[in-house]
Amino acid sequence: MQMAKKIMMKGNVAAAEAAIRGGAEFFAGYPITPSTETLETLSFRMPEEGRVFIQAENEIASINMVLGAAACGARAFTTSSGPGMALKQEGFSYAARMELPYVVMNVQRWGVGLGMLDSGQVDYLRDTRAGGNGDYRHIVYAPDSVQELVDDLYEAFDVSQKYRMGVLILSEGYLGQMMEAVELPPFKEIRRPDWGLDGTGEVGLKQLCPTYNMALAHELLPVRQERINRVCREMQRWESVETEDADYVLVAFGLPARVCVDAVRRLREEGCKVGLIRPKLVFPFPYDAFHRVNPNVRGFISVETNDLGQMVQDVALAAKRELPQRNVPVYCYTHSAGVPRVQDVVRYYRSVLDGAVKEVY
């Protein structure tokens, strides 16, 4: 088999192309920095492939357009960033009610409210939990390179239809904006599901609110829980770097994780037994990764580009669940906007050793 050629592509542009090759038939979105290149690329690439592109009046309308298309069985896609993602939350909740699959990419920008245009990982808690009303989750991919972003989007539509759940690609500003060499996968054949509104009134969504039935609220509880439990069993993915003998294990996703790989290498050269867990998906959180670390590990250090520490909560829960006999301290390096340097991570690690910083959990 001939290997596909690697080409230089910007993250957001590559994401658009990967979505098309993954079978996206419908896109609706609204411009917002730093995600706009995906919308721009799709505005001409979707019609070229005979698919639907709509520039909507806002993010609320775009997600509701996506739901309409998804209800017809289409592979529907939308993208946004901070404030725009906030507007879409209502739609996500409605999609969960009808078990509609769709893919959404959040190219995170740092800050609150209007935010700033700097990169950040400020939407972790919102995007791994239910941002809208009610109990539901997204399957959340957290790529750390343009190639992984491509691979994730390419797979996302299949996964979304398999579980009939929304899939969220948790990108970040710099990942969307940077260029890397990528290999693009071939075009997938578009397969329509065996459900969907077709106008006859006979097929329908099949599972329309099947489990959100007031009379059966308690009876169907196990059904609703099993959906998520199945995702948690089947979709945990991570990358471990030298965790078997590590005294301290860094935990990071996305771009900060790439910095942490270098930090591990540098500290190892100095004789420090440090490892790294990089969740490739952050929901489901890779609890299993924590089961395989050194049982005598002395601490976990969550490295995040936000202000208050968000993933650290999941790291603490994982430490409690997988190492129940030991109260392993969990620290958090909150870098705020941007991406930390290797020396920032190394310095924080040293202050953990010195006792200069206290554990969060």
Partner 1 sequence: MKVIREKPAVIQRPHNFCAGCSHGVFYRLIQECVEELGYSKRQIIAMGVGCNCNLTLSKIDTVDKFQCAHGRAAASATGIKRMRPDLLVMTYQGDGDCGVIGLGETLNAAYRNEKITVFTVNNLNFGMTGGQMSWTTLEGQKTATSVRGRDCAATGYPIHLPEIIAGQFRPAYAARCAVYDPKTVAQAKKYIRRALEAQINGEGYAIVELLGICPTNWGMSPVQAIEHLQKKALQEYPLGEFAGGEQAELAFLRQEAEK
Residues that bind partner 1 (CB under 8 A): 25-26, 28, 52, 54, 56-58, 60-62, 64-72, 74, 76, 90-91, 94, 98, 197-202, 204
Best CA proximity match to 319, nearest among 352, 291, 279, 282: 291
Cα distance between residue 269 and residue 266, in whole Å: 5
Which residue, 53 or 349, is less far from partner 1 as judged by CB?
A: 53
Query: Would you say 285 and 322 are in contact if contact means Cβ atoms under 8 Å apart?
Result: no
Residue tagged 């924590």 (tokens): 290
CA-based Rg of the chain, rounded to a whole angstrom?
21
Q: How far is the CB of 36 from partner 1 (least distance, A)?
A: 20
Which residue, 138 or 273, is less far from partner 1 as judged by CB?
A: 138
Query: Would you say 14 and 178 are in contact if contact means Cβ atoms under 8 Å apart?
Result: no
Stretch (H or E) spanning 269 = helix 254-269
Cα distance between residue 333 and residue 330, in whole Å: 10
Which residue, 200 or 325, is less far from partner 1 as judged by CB?
A: 200
Which residue, 74 or 263, is less far from partner 1 as judged by CB?
A: 74
Q: Is 276 helix (H, G, I), strand (E, B) or coil?
A: strand
Residue tagged 């972790």 (tokens): 124
Pairing of strands 166-172, 179-183: unpaired
Helix, strand and coil in the chain, % to nearest 5:
40, 20, 40
Q: How far is the CB of 32 from partner 1 (least distance, A)?
A: 17
Q: How far is the CB of 70 from partner 1 (least distance, A)?
A: 8
Q: How far is the CB of 344 from partner 1 (least distance, A)?
A: 43
Tokens describing residue 74: 């289409």
Q: How far is the CB of 233 from partner 1 (least distance, A)?
A: 31
Which residue, 36 or 62, is less far from partner 1 as judged by CB?
A: 62
Q: How far is the CB of 68 from partner 1 (least distance, A)?
A: 3
Q: How far is the CB of 105 from partner 1 (least distance, A)?
A: 18
Task: Find the distance separating the first CA and the last CA of the chain, reported in whole Å.
Answer: 51
Which residue, 71 or 122, is less far from partner 1 as judged by CB?
A: 71
Which residue, 58 or 225, is less far from partner 1 as judged by CB?
A: 58
